[in-house]
Amino acid sequence: MLDANLKTQLRAYLERLTRPVVPIASTSASAKSAEMVGLLHEIAELSDKVSVSLDGQDDRRPSFSLTSPGHDISLSFAGLPMGHEFTSLVLALLQVGGHPPKAEREILDQIANLPGDFTFETYFSQSCQNCPDVVQALNLMAVLNPRIRHVAIDGSDFQQEVEKRQVMAVPTIYLNGKVFGQGRMALEEILSKIDTGAAARDAEKLAARETYDVLVVGGGPAGAAAAIYAARKGIRTGIVAERLGGQVLDTMSIENLISVPHTEGPKLAQALENHIREYDVDIMTLQTAKSLSLSGDLVQIGLESGATLSARSVILSTGARWRSMGVPGEQEYRNKGVTYCPHCDGPLFKGKSVAVIGGGNSGVEAAIDLAGIVSHVTLIEYDKVLRADDVLQRKLRSLPNVAVITNALTTEVKGDGARVTGLAWRDRAADQAHDLEVQGIFVQIGLLPNTDWLKGVVDLTARGEIVMDGHGAILGPRRLRCCHTSIVVLNLVLRN
């Protein structure tokens, strides 16, 4: 399964093992099981510290656990951790084998000292770029704390289980048999959810921060660039964001970053974080801004955690989020058939009928990709014509299992209470209502600025963009610029 180049790289990584690692396989007579065993033996051939056992007794087959003699570790993979998850396998091998993880000592100690018993199950797909963050975080926790158990499950290999649990988005995380979360989650975010006192401790620490010369709100490419440029000038700089990388983390492919012909979103996000950490920047993640106000010569940013940060200058680079349809049933069936990531969630709809909402490049690309996985795709566009590039439209119309409906307005998402069963749409020309039976709806209708928290403070357009005058000053009830205080809006958008 592994080519020569990959084996060479993996052999070099496995030289870092400081103790034995034993993959214990639970097998069946399936071809997938034989493929898994072959992969494990290939890995074992690359290091004398890795030896394979076929004595596994796990009910999920094929699956394998990673153990080290004398250490109480419960970490396993059900199915094949290939694609984006191969990195998760490599990291798990290293960490089970004693290689120190790259995390702050405070975080490692917090994990090791967590009280209680935690059994995590994570459903992933090999094409999901959001899944590895979750899998790797929970694997690390299982290595550090014997009371934490984790199994990463390839949903495409366990379809009956996925159907029974009605998993329709990845990653989906279960904790002790109940849904814990869906979507990308960093290690710190997982910890904040299970360590109930963590949020209060973090808010107390943030409230004690001294005034910044520059405070950047937002952790995407624009925020990263602003923080780096400010820190290079030797001034006190902070960056506060829900996550470093922003929406770039959810982007499968980036091809318009000058000098970089192609990269993946998570890879670019990691590079941005690494660059920020080269400078003296105070990084505050898992924080959501909720208010902005002026106090004398200072700008104050209030956070959802209850803390307030002060700065002489603030740079707003809050980015955008996926735009919702805003129709009945959409929120009710979100992650129950309504999804916004065809790359991540597409494999969960294998053999089913789905709809794609939106006829721009993103929507048409999604329909093309999904056509190779699902039984049928219906693309619905509000305009009279598709707006995607001609080359994409030609490809779309050449596919036998794709239908295109234009001049149509989606009016409702329908379901049975547990999952999507269809949608209602209206023919705008004939003013006629129609129903469409689908099991999945992929929404691809653009973005909205993350500026809701600024309403009433600054002037916003109908689309939520911040209004500025010809001098670059932000407009609002009070002009937000003076000789000692400034607020700057900066956003850099990278689209796939």
Three-state SS letters, 88-112: HHHHHHHHHCCCCCCCCHHHHHHHH
pLDDT band at 200 (very low <50, low <70, confident <90, very high): confident
**Which residue type, as a one-letter code, is found at position 340?**
Y
Domains parsed from the chain with CATH numbers:
4-196 (3.40.30.80), 200-321+448-489 (3.50.50.60), 338-445 (3.50.50.60)
pLDDT value of position 239: 97
What pLDDT is recorded for position 496? 42
Mean pLDDT of 442-447: 93
Q: What is the Cβ-side half-sphere exposure of residue 92, based on CA atoms within 13 angstroms? A: 31
d(CA 248, CA 242): 13
Phi, psi of 340 (to 5 degrees): -125, 5
* pLDDT recorded at residue 473: 67
Q: Report which of 289, 272, 269 is spatially closest to residue 281, judged by C-alpha positions.
A: 272
**16 pLDDT tier (thresholds 50, 70, 90):** very high
Reported as a single tens digit per residue, the pLDDT across 209-224 is 999 999 999 999 999 9
pLDDT tens-place string over residues 315-373? 999 988 889 999 999 999 999 999 998 988 898 999 999 999 999 999 999 999 999 99
Distance of CA 428 to the CA centre of its chain: 35
280/230 Cα distance (integer angstroms)? 10
Query: What counts of helices (H) and strands (E) characterise the chain?
Result: 13, 24
Tokens matching residue 409: 């307005």
Judge whether residue 234 has pLDDT over 90. Answer: yes
Contact (CB, 8 A) for 298 and 309: no
Task: Give the mean model confidence (pLDDT) for residues 158-183.
Answer: 94
The CA angle 144-128-125, to the nearest 5 degrees, is: 80
Please check the confidence at residue 483 and state whether its pLDDT lies above 70.
no
Model pLDDT, residue 491: 61
User: Which residue in 239, 309, 315 sits closest to 272, CA to CA?
Assistant: 239
Whether the pLDDT of residue 478 is over 60: the answer is no
**132-136, 293-297, 479-483: segment of lowest average pLDDT:** 479-483
Kind of pairing between the strands at 408-415 and 420-427? antiparallel
Nearest-10 Cα torsion for 87, 89, 95, 100: 0
Asked if residues 330 and 338 have their Cβ atoms less than 8 Å apart, the reply is yes
**Region for residue 176 given its phi and psi (left: phi exceeds 0; alpha: psi -120 to 50; beta: otherwise):** left
CB 126 within 8 A of CB 82: yes
Find out whether 215 and 311 touch, Cβ atoms under 8 Å: yes
Indicate the helix (H) or strand (E) that contains 310: strand 308-316
d(CA 94, CA 472): 51
pTM for this entry? 0.75
Report pLDDT digits (tens) over 403-436. Answer: 999 999 999 999 999 999 999 999 999 999 999 9
**pLDDT the model gives residue 130:** 87
pLDDT value, residue 476: 65
Report the C-alpha gap between 114 and 375 in whole angstroms.
45
Please say whether the beta carbons of 137 and 185 come within 8 A.
Answer: yes
Q: Which residues contact 8 (CB under 8 A, 6 or more apart)?
A: none
Rounded to an integer, the average pLDDT of 179-192 is 92
Contact criterion met (CB below 8 Å) for 233 and 279 = no
Task: Encode pLDDT of 248-258 as tens digits.
Answer: 887 777 877 88
Quick one: pLDDT at residue 489?
A: 65
